[in-house]
Structure 1
Amino acid sequence: MERLSVEAIISKINNEDCFHAISEDYSFTLKIDRYVHYVCGAVHDGHQFRKELWENCLHTEYERWYEEDPETKNMITSHPIVIAGCDSRFEYDLNRTPEDAVFETAWGKQLWKQPLPEDQKQKSQNKHANFYKIVHALIAKLEAKFGVCIVYDMHSYNWKRWDREVPTWNLGTSNVNNERFGDDIELWRQRLSDIKFPYSIKSTSKINDTFQGNGYFLKFITNNFKNTLVLATEIAKVYCDEYDYVIFPEVVDTVEQQLRQHLLDHAANFYKKHNA
């Protein structure tokens, strides 16, 4: 893996180089093993929280972890193009607009003892901006090369805090073109429901049941690229104990192994249908 500036990463994308990179400020990773028409993203995978913010933060390390999406990068790691955040959403949230990316409150609790100094806030916003420069360059390259593109936008959610039964998988589709891509969405929902978990964990999948797909990552790509479908894909945190702060790596591995084929097949079907 190379440590590269934003400009160097964009240059490599434009040249269609294959590479594994971490950004110069260590805020995100991008690997491109080959140029294909689909991208896997894990914008909330990160847990880094820069040290100058620690003393001023009212949330504990566990509270931050609880609201992040741990292991979502590992679930898609085998695919040829993977982009993922390294920093905690409590520093800045890649799935929110630039204006709202740095929280003042988080999940009903004040985040900072004292308001963030402007230079600290700007440092976080710059990381957010750099990430989206790369996203724009990447999707532009893939749309130009293949005509269409599909993005698997991986997230997770805390299922135990719901007071009703919720699905293992949820697809948020309220901000994509359902008339054009409805069959692709339904096929992805079906694929996800076919995933088999250990320990008798149920595999159910629904559309817009818990979340509707209102994230900035999806909206940014959808608003800037007319031939790219973003599938906001949420897995319930059945792969960890969200209260005891324990990851179940064998469940993560199960998901990763099965997504290798399910995701590949779905992406191939999408390309065959929309690039005719």
Structure 2
Amino acid sequence: MERLPVDTIISKIKKEELFHAVSEDYSFTLKIENYVHYVCGAVHNGHQFRKELWDNCLHTEYERWYEEDPETKQMITSHPIVIAGCDSRFEYDLNRPPEEAVFETAWGKQLWKHPLGEDLKQKSLNKHSDFFKVVYALISKLEEKFGVCIVYDIHSYNWKRWDREVPTWNLGTSNVDNDRFGEAIEQWRQSLSEIELPKDIVSTSKINNTFQGNGYFLKFITNNFKNTLVLATEIAKIYCNEYDQIIFPEVVSAVEKALQKRLPEHAANFYKKYNS
């Protein structure tokens, strides 16, 4: 892996170079092993939190971890194109628009002892901006090369906070073209429901059951690219103990292994149907 400035990353994409890079400020990673028509993203995977913010933050390290999506990058790590955030969403949230990306309150609790200065906010917003410059360059290249593109936008959610039964997998589709892509959406839902998991976990999957797919990553791509489908795919945190901050590696591994097979198969079917 190389450490590269954003301009260099964009230049490499435009030239269709293969590379594995972390941004110069360590805010995100991008791996391109091959130029294919699908991308895997894990925008909430990050846990880094700028040291200059530590003393001013009212949330504990555990409270931040609880709302992040740990291990989501690991679940998609084997795929040819993977983009992932390194920073905690408590510094800035890549799934919120710039004007909402730096929180003042987070999950019902004030985030900062003292309001953040504009210079501190701007540091975070510059990282947010750089990430989306790279996303724009990447999807532009893939649409230009393949005509269509599909993005698997992988998240996780805290299922124990719900007071009803919730699915292992949720697809949020309220901001994509369901008339056009409905078949691909249903095929992905069906495929996820067939995954076999350890610890007697049943793999159920539903559409717009817990989340509707209102994230900025999805909206940014959908609004800028007419031939790209973003599948906001949430896994319940059945792969960890969300209260004790313990990861279950065997479950993470089982999810990764299942997606190694199912995700490229789904992407191939998507290309076959929509490339025309």
TM-score (norm: length of structure 2)? 1.00
- Mapped to 2, the partners of 1:250 and 1:218 lie a distance apart of 29
1:200 aligns with 2:200: yes
1:189 aligns with 2:178: no
Per the TM alignment, residue 117 of structure 1 is displaced from its structure 2 partner at its CA by 1.0
User: Where does residue 5 of structure 1 map in the other structure?
Assistant: 5
Cα RMSD of the aligned pairs, angstroms, is 0.3
User: Where does residue 73 of structure 2 map in the other structure?
Assistant: 73
User: Where does residue 274 of structure 1 map in the other structure?
Assistant: 274
User: Where does residue 34 of structure 1 map in the other structure?
Assistant: 34
- Equivalent residues, number: 276
- Mapped to 2, the partners of 1:130 and 1:229 lie a distance apart of 22
User: Where does residue 19 of structure 2 map in the other structure?
Assistant: 19
Per the TM alignment, residue 267 of structure 1 is displaced from its structure 2 partner at its CA by 0.1
- Mapped to 2, the partners of 1:216 and 1:83 lie a distance apart of 15
1:167 aligns with 2:167: yes
**Uncovered stretches (5+) of structure 1, i.e. residues with no partner:** none
Describe how 1:240-259 pairs up with structure 2 within 5 A. Answer: 240-259=240-259
Secondary structure of the residue that 1:39 maps to in structure 2?
strand
Matched letter for residue 246 of structure 1: I
User: Where does residue 265 of structure 2 map in the other structure?
Assistant: 265
Per the TM alignment, residue 258 of structure 1 is displaced from its structure 2 partner at its CA by 0.6
Matched letter for residue 261 of structure 2: Q
Per the TM alignment, residue 167 of structure 1 is displaced from its structure 2 partner at its CA by 0.1
- Mapped to 2, the partners of 1:195 and 1:202 lie a distance apart of 8
- Mapped to 1, the partners of 2:131 and 2:188 lie a distance apart of 27
User: Where does residue 224 of structure 1 map in the other structure?
Assistant: 224
User: Percent identity between the aligned chains?
Assistant: 80
Secondary structure of the residue that 2:17 maps to in structure 1?
coil
**Uncovered stretches (5+) of structure 2, i.e. residues with no partner:** none
1:221-264 residue CA offsets vs partner (Å, 9 max, x unmatched): 00000000000000000000000110001100000001001001
Per the TM alignment, residue 194 of structure 1 is displaced from its structure 2 partner at its CA by 0.6
Superposed structure 1 runs of 4+ greater than 2 Å apart: none
User: Where does residue 84 of structure 2 map in the other structure?
Assistant: 84
Matched letter for residue 189 of structure 1: R
Matched letter for residue 139 of structure 1: I
User: Where does residue 105 of structure 2 map in the other structure?
Assistant: 105
1:53-96 residue CA offsets vs partner (Å, 9 max, x unmatched): 00000000000000000000000000000000000000000000
User: Where does residue 55 of structure 2 map in the other structure?
Assistant: 55
1:145 aligns with 2:151: no
Matched letter for residue 82 of structure 1: V
- Mapped to 1, the partners of 2:143 and 2:249 lie a distance apart of 35
Matched letter for residue 88 of structure 2: S
TM-score (norm: length of structure 1)? 1.00
User: Where does residue 120 of structure 1 map in the other structure?
Assistant: 120
- Mapped to 1, the partners of 2:214 and 2:248 lie a distance apart of 28
